[in-house]
Amino acid sequence: MNVFTEAFHNRLSTDTALTDLLADYNGNSGVFSGDLVPEDATPPYVLIGEDVSNESFDTKNSFGREIIRYIYCYDNDQGGHSTVDLITERVRMLLHRHKLVITGFENAMLCTASLLSVPYEKGFYGKIVSIRLIAMEV
């Protein structure tokens, strides 16, 4: 897990208001990272995706990164989309204008979070929280 994924994972998986909305997986909250959710995981869960983009964000005196990343929120379609709406709003609240602690980067990160829709997929409701992160290297 890279330092950016670790920072997102720490922020989301330690928030009890969010984890109370998610299913457990092997004794942990349903916050996953990487490309895939384990096949035996049951919704609702959150998947922290890989970088959509990772660009230089350099200034005259420093080096930095501008990262766009999607966080996918899913639930089954048995109870309507209200749970996935709550999860998505909580993820957005946890990251929007929040300063993350990221190893090797200054503690002055700023996230902005936007909501995107996911087309209905048979058996699942999903939404995406799009994250824009600015991180300046130490």
So what's the pLDDT on residue 5? 94
- Residues 81-126: tens digit of each pLDDT: 899 999 999 999 999 999 888 999 986 677 888 888 777 778 889 9
User: Which domains does the chain possess?
Assistant: 3-136 (3.30.2000.20)
Residue 107 has a pLDDT of 62
Predicted local distance difference test score (pLDDT) of residue 92: 94
Write down the pTM of the prediction.
Answer: 0.91
As a whole number, mean pLDDT of residues 1-27 equals 95
- For residue range 42-75, list pLDDT tens digits in order: 999 999 999 999 999 988 888 999 999 999 999 9
Dump the DSSP string for the chain.
Answer: --HHHHHHHHHHHT-HHHHTTSPEETTEESEEESS---TT--SSEEEEEEEEEEEE---SS--EEEEEEEEEEEEESSS-SHHHHHHHHHHHHHHTTPPPP-TTB-S--EEEEEEEE---BTTEEEEEEEEEEEEEB-
For residue 79, pLDDT over 80 is answered with no
